[in-house]
Each structure stands twice: as structure tokens, then as C-alpha cells.
Amino acid sequence: MKACTIHVTGIVQGIGFRPFVSKLAHELGIVGTVRNDTSGVEIHIQGVDADCQLFIERLQSDLPMHGRIDTLQIEQANLRDLDDFTIILSQGVKGNAFIGADMAPCEACLQDIQDPKNRRFQYGFTNCTNCGPRYTIIESTPYDRDTTSMKVFPMCETCQAEYENLEGRRYHAEPNACGQCGPMFTLQGTDGTVLASGQDAIERTKKHIQYGSIVAVKGVGGYHLVCDALQEKAVQILRQRKGRPRKPLAVMAGSLETAKQYVHISETEEELLLSPARPIVLLRKLAEYNTVAPSVAPGMETLGILLPYAPYHYSLVPSNALWVMTSANRSGDPVLYNDAQALGELQGIADYILTHNREIISPVDDSVVQVVDDKPIMIRRSRGYVPLSIAVVALEKSPTMLAMGADMKAAFAMNRGSHAILSPYMGDMEHQRVQDLLWSTAKRYEELFQLIPTQVIVDVHPKYYTSQCGRIYAEEHQLPVIEVQHHHAHVAAVLAEQNITEPVLGICFDGTGYGTDGTLWGGEFLYCHKTYMERMAHLSYAPLPGGEVAVREPWRQALWYVNQLYPSGVPTVIKAWKKTLPKGWELLEKMMPHMQMIQSSSGGRLFDTVASLLGVGHEHLYDAQLAIELEQLALSEKGTILNMKLDGTVLDTMSLVRSVIEQLEYGESVAKISANFHRTLIYYIGQMAKQCCEERHISHIVLCGGVFQNRILLKGVMQELGEYKVHVPTQSPMNDGGIALGQLWLGSYMNR
């Protein structure tokens, strides 16, 4: 007989690891114990040496689907007086173990809720060790029912028996519950009056939505506003009440078959839609698409679709339905999740509120992903992915750092050793509630994972709220601050997740980031090797008349281009274009030669300028609206290369804008010009990249920054540079939501 103690760390709490260990031990005839502890799982085994060796091997090879072992330590132990293998109480008051993300129902649980003979038929909180809520209900680790928001729901005798049944899949499933003992839905009026409860609340909600009402529905990580996506009047009312005039709305299809009636779905996209994370996936509309309300995604050739991801969705959303499922917050605010706050703020927005009595401990928005060239490109990393850590080899010997990220698409990150833990997407820092959420979520991460930062990493931009917060935090805790250039961090995020240590050419195109020369960058070709960054080439500079106002109103920069190109008389199409500009443009035109204007090499601003000139729009109603709609125009066209000068290390945007205006003057269609603009930029980005790579003998290229969320641009540049090893982020967002990961990676090298 042999006895040993095994300590395992990684994602081993909240994924059914202890039940798996117990079942494996019983199968092999091994006695002992297993428990969660402060950092992972502790296992004591006793048995014949060969059986113990097989146990250790299968512990790693047969790991539950959502688990991950980072370390496995084995120590010889004394034999104990044991005659069985049991799961025992967790050790420690508060731990720091990694935990799993919230998961969609597994197939077995789906069968339960869809079987009229099953006692969980239509029960909206059905789960087992293989699925269900995790991050959103956990208060602290070790992960036990008493440390989750399920602690207020004592299990009934039948559920308790399942919980103790070694052979069942609900063996030690901490959120285990049924309709007799678990959480319950209620349908309320906006004054708080309870109108229905239980399954009746679900059925009445379904009817209200089918009749055109707008219902706020409490979900896994927050409230959604829901209406029928096939009813134009309902969608328009929702937009008006929510204060979201044009930004596309996500829709939930009741089934994969229903989704396929509206959009093209590739094999990779289908895998994402059906994955346990259940993100929103951006998909191309079918040509015969004509029944979805036009106001769902105006100006778009794509539709953001997600499938049911909570048990209650399967009884709430008809399998043939297509419903708007958008976060129930006013535009700009973070996801709404507190019941009392929701009741107060949803008056005047929702007609009814479908809520439940399971508390949401940590709010999360829906994640958003798109597929480009068969690669999943993350746009928003939140529900289903958070707080899963990302393994980063470079962080292995690093102290715990707090990386603050950026102000747009805000997300911070911390590390424990070689694992980076990104926060959920929070929003844009110009909003007070997003700022509050940043502070509360950072504190939550410190407590949940028992992390004590020893350094703070911030963006060099002096006016970023996140940078100012980071400095305040550092001052309060007497910690050093590391400053990192914005676009260097974008590149580093890809290096971090893909463990690239050799020199790379980082092509970073985004809105604006503070450059090393005091200007705003955003169209950069950067030589990057660990902490060293050198700007090799860039888009030409253009000013932002009015500063930040010009970001919201791209017609201002477009007007500057026009005045530079045609100082003594404009083409007819430009005369017509000027008539569409907002009032006051004449005054700005006169003032421009005398204004001090900050210069920008931004790729995002170039897209906005061209969109304005083509009549797509002159002001943003949501972030990157005009660039997104410009891309949509080009999706069904094949572009040709226009004239654009490559002037040494500068890609001349002036010549490209001139070419666009000339195309307008020739009478070319706006869609065709957009396609030509994309094709031209793709070609010349490729030419400049090849020039830089040849100069420095580089074989690795990184594409990053929010502009590369444009699938035409990303796929085109990847193909243009097919002879090189081209890397794009797949675990962290392409946009500023991935900045914090790059900051951690750079911080690790700066500490050496």
C-alpha cells in the first residue's frame, strides 16, 4: 500500500473537479479524500502503487472539459485509517484559486429541462458539475455552496440526495437546485407589483414580447432589454427609450436552425455559437434576408446573433423566434445587475420586468466574437470567458502587477505568476458608472484571487482616467508606476498570448493613442523586441480640428483634407458635400488656417474621413460607427487599387483621399469606392510592411488595434503578407480591451 498527498492548481474549482476525482478513485479502488483549499485542490490517496500511479496519470489525461491543471505536486504521506474515498469540507476561509467561467447548459441538463416527465422540466436554473453559473455567483474561494449566492437556497431532500450521489453528474454540484428549493422567476410591473411567478411568469413574458412589448429580463450576468426582432415598431420604441439611435442590437435566435434562416454560418462560427461560452457572433446576412426589423442593425450587412445560454432561455425563447437581446442600461452605462437599481431605472424603458431571486455577485456583459479567415477574433471578452486566465510564459517569475488598460473598451488585468487574469469588459471611461465599476471590479479581483499588486502599469497618455486611477492607487499603496506606450502594448498583447520572443513588425491601426512625439498615433509600423519599440513607418499626419470634437465629428478632418487638396476651387461633388455639413462649417473653415491643431496619424480617423466624404455620415452616434458602416458598404464589392503615394516611411493619406474624391467625381458608386479604398489600403500596408521587414530581416508580423476588427482589412492584409508569419490576437480583444494584457507582458520584461 502507498499513500501520498497531491496538490493541484489551475482551473480546478467550479468545474466538477472534486466529483471527477472521487469517481476516478472509486473506479480504481483507491481510498482517500479530496477538498478545495485556498489555492486549488488537495487530494490524499491510498492504494496499491500501480493503482496510485494510474490515478495520477488519469487525473491529468481525463480532466473535466472546462478544467486546466497548471501545477501538480506529489508528496509521500502516512497511511490513514480510511475505508472509502470522500469529498470533505474545504480548507481555509478565503482562497486564491482560479475559478471557471459561466457555462451554457450541457446536453444532459438540456434533456432534463425539455423532458415533461423530468422533475426539472422547464426549470430555469438547472445545472450540474459540467455546466451552469460560476463567476457571476461566487463570493469567494474555496468554491463551496456557502461561498456563492446559492447559499440562501437550502437543497430539498431530493437535490441533497443528488448532491451526495457518487454516480450522478450532480455529485457536489454546488449550484444544484430544482423548482422546489431553488431560485424562482417573477414577472413584475415597472412599479414592482408582482404579476406572476414561476413558469407562469415565463409564459406571460413570452406572450408580452410576442405582442410587441419590451421586457427587461434578468439573466446570468445582468439585465437585458428584450423585444421581438421581427417587429419594427417594437424595435424603434426600444431604441428611443434606451437612447441608442443606431448602434446594432444583438439578437437571440431560439435555435441554430432559426439562426441559419437569417445568416451565413461557417463551421467555425457554428462551433462558437454552440460553445459553452455562447458569445454573440457577428455573421453575414443571407441575401434573401428581409424579415428582420430594419432598425435592428441599420446600415449593416452583418447581424450579431447568440443562441440560448441559460436554462430559462429554452422555455422563454421559442425555437423559431428571433428576439432583440441587448443590455438593459442606458447608452454608455455598464450592464445593469442590481435588482433595486434595475427597478428604479427601468421605469420608462421596459413595459415589464422578468426578474429572479438569485443574486448576481459579479456583473458581466455578453461576449462578442467574429471569425476572419477561420480565426476567432474577440471584440468583447466577458461572459463565458471571464475570469479564465491566459497563460503567459514571460510572466512566470514576475511579481503581481496591476495593468490598468486604456479608457476605451476598458478592461484591466492582474497576474499571478505566469497567468494573466483579465477583467470583464466594462465600457468607456467617460461615463461615471463605468469609472465606479472599474474600482469595484479591481477590488473584487484582489479579494477573489487574493492578489496584492506590487506594481501598477499605466498608459503614457496623461489624461486617461485609467492612468490617473492607476497613479492614485499606486500612491495610496506606495507602489512604483510603469508607463507603457499605447501601441506598443497592443503589439505586446499578441506577443503575450502567443509566446513570441523574437523581433516582430507590429502593424497597429486604431483610433488614437498617445505617441512618443506628442502627437496622436494610430497608423503605425513598429519594430518591437521585448521592451524595445521603434517606429519604422506610419500613416501621414492630419490634424484634428477641435481636438476630441473632431473624433466625434469626422466631417471636420474631412473638411481639412478638402481645403488642402483644393485651395482655389472644389469639384462639384464636394460643393454638394459641403451643403450636407452641420451648421457652422463655414466658420470652422475660415478659422482652420489660424488654429493650433493636434496632429494624428490615425487609421481610424482616415476611415472616418472617407466615410464622411462618401456621405455615410458626418457624426458618430456610437463608437466607430462610420468606419463600421463604410466597411459594410464594401462587403459585396470587389475593389481595385487606387493611387496612393508611399513616401519613404510615410503612407500618404492625402493622395488616397484625393483618389476617393476623384472616384466620386467620375460617378462611381459609393459601395465600389469603399471597396476600392479598402483594397488600396490593404495593398499599400502590405508594401510598407514588406519594406520594413526586409530592412530589419523580420519574419514575424503582428496585426492589432481596433481598426483591424474590419474583416475586409484584416483578411486582406493577412493574404497580402502570406509569405510572413502573421499573428493576430485570439484570446484577448483586438481593440483596447486587450491593452492590459500587453501592459503586463511589457511590465514583466521591465522588471528584469
Q: In angstroms, rounded to a whole number, what is the distance separating the alpha carbons of residues 333 and 427?
A: 7
Q: Nearest CA to 549 among 597, 594, 593?
A: 597
Q: Which range is least confidently modeled, 284-288, 430-434, 693-697?
A: 284-288
Report percent pLDDT > 70 for the chain. 99
Inform me whether the pLDDT recorded for 164 exceeds 60.
Answer: yes
Per-residue pLDDT tens for 693-747?
999 999 999 999 999 999 999 999 999 999 999 999 999 999 999 999 999 999 9
Look at residue 450 and tell me whether its pLDDT is greater than 70: yes
Closest CA to 614 of 303, 299, 304, 245: 299
Percent of the chain at pLDDT exceeding 90: 87
Give the per-residue pLDDT at 289.
65
Residue the block writes with cell 466620386 = 664
In this predicted structure, the answer to whether residue 446 has a pLDDT above a threshold of 60 is yes
Q: Kindly report, residue by residue over 577-630, the tens digit of the pLDDT.
A: 999 999 999 999 999 999 999 999 999 999 999 999 999 999 999 999 999 999
102-156 pLDDT, tens digit per residue, is 999 999 999 999 999 999 999 999 999 999 999 999 998 888 899 999 999 999 9
pTM (2 decimals)?
A: 0.93
Confidence of residue 502 (pLDDT cuts 50, 70, 90): very high
Question: What is the residue-averaged pLDDT of the chain?
Answer: 94
Q: What is the mean pLDDT of residues 61-66?
A: 85
Task: Pick the more confident residue, 308 or 463.
Answer: 308
pLDDT over 70 at 267, yes or no: yes
Q: What residue type is assigned to position 132 of the chain? A: G
Q: Give long-range contacts, CB 8 A cutoff, 24+ apart: 344-350.
A: 346/190, 346/216, 346/223, 347/190, 347/191, 348/190, 348/241, 349/214, 349/216, 349/225, 349/241, 349/242, 350/190, 350/214, 350/215, 350/216, 350/225, 350/241
pLDDT score at 640: 96
Q: What gap in Å lies between CA 74 and CA 4, rounded to an integer?
A: 7
E strand residue ranges, 288-418: 302-306, 322-327, 352-356, 368-372, 375-380, 390-391, 401-403, 413-416
Cβ(637)–Cβ(671) below 8 Å: yes
The dihedral formed by the CA atoms of 254, 255, 256 and 261, expressed in degrees to the nearest 10? -60
Burial of residue 7, with CB atoms counted within 10 A of its CB: 0-12 exposed, 13-18 middle, 19 or more buried: middle
Secondary structure (H, E, C), 230-274: CCHHHHHHHHHHHCCCCCCCCEEECCHHHHCCCECCCHHHHHHHH
CB neighbours (10 Å) of residue 552?
13
- Cα end-to-end span (Å), the chain: 47
- The pLDDT of 290-303, averaged and rounded, is 92
pLDDT band at 206 (very low <50, low <70, confident <90, very high): very high
DSSP reduced 3-state for 4 = strand
Confidence check: pLDDT of 91 > 70:
no
The residue assigned the cell 424595435 is 235
User: Cα–Cα distances in Å, from 57 out to 21, 69, 139, 508?
Assistant: 12, 12, 33, 44
pLDDT in tens, 1-25: 899 999 998 888 877 888 899 999 9
On the question of pLDDT at 257 being above 90, the answer is yes
Which amino acid does the sequence have at 224?
A: H
Distance CA 145, CA 301 (A): 45
**Residue carrying the nine cell digits 470567458:** 385
Go through 673-709 and write b for each residue having 16 or more CB atoms within 10 A of its CB, e for each that does not. Answer: bbbbbbbbbbbbbbebbbebbeeeebebbbbbbbbbb
Orientation angle between helical segments 711-720 and 670-696, nearest 10 degrees: 40
CA separation for the pair 424, 411 (Å, rounded) = 6
Query: Which DSSP symbol is given to 627?
Result: H
CA distance 708 to 702: 11
> According to the model, what pLDDT value does residue 637 have?
93
The SS3 of residue 156 is coil
Q: pLDDT confidence of 331, banded at 50, 70, 90?
A: confident
The residue with greater pLDDT, 752 or 308, is: 308
Looking at residue 88, its pLDDT comes to 87
Q: Which residues contact 87 (CB under 8 A, 6 or more apart)?
A: 18, 19, 22, 33, 34, 35, 172
Main-chain phi, psi angles of 354, to 5 degrees: -100, 110
DSSP sequence for 468-527: HHHHHHHHHHT--EEEE-HHHHHHHHHHHHHT--S-EEEEEEEEEEE-TTSSEEEEEEEE
Q: Which residues pair with 644 in a beta bridge?
A: none
CA–CA distance, 182 with 619 (Å, rounded to integer) = 49
The neighbouring-strand residues paired with 704 are 508
Judge contact between 21 and 59, C-beta under 8 A. yes
User: Is residue 742 within 8 Å of residue 498, measured between CB atoms?
Assistant: no
More confident residue, 97 or 281: 281
| Of 497, 505, 503, 446, residue with least CA distance to 476 | 446
Asked whether the CA dihedral 345, 347, 350, 356 is positive or negative, the reply is positive
Hey, which of 56-70, 435-449, 665-679 has the most confident mean pLDDT? 665-679
The per-residue pLDDT for range 551-566, each reduced to its tens digit, is 999 999 999 999 999 9
Mean pLDDT throughout 391-397?
92
Distance CA 667, CA 236 (A): 34
pLDDT at 13: 83
Dihedral sign from CA coordinates of 8, 14, 18, 20: negative
Rounded Cα distance, 91 and 206, in Å: 45
**What pLDDT, in 10s, does the model give residues 636-665?**
899 999 999 999 999 999 999 999 999 999
DSSP at 706: G
- Report the length, in residues, of the chain: 752
Q: What are the grid coordinates assigned to 455, written together?
A: 506594481
Burial class (CB in 10 A: 0-12, 13-18, 19+), 217: buried
pLDDT in tens, 354-376: 999 999 999 999 999 999 999 99
- How many Å apart are CA 622 and CA 51, to the nearest integer? 61
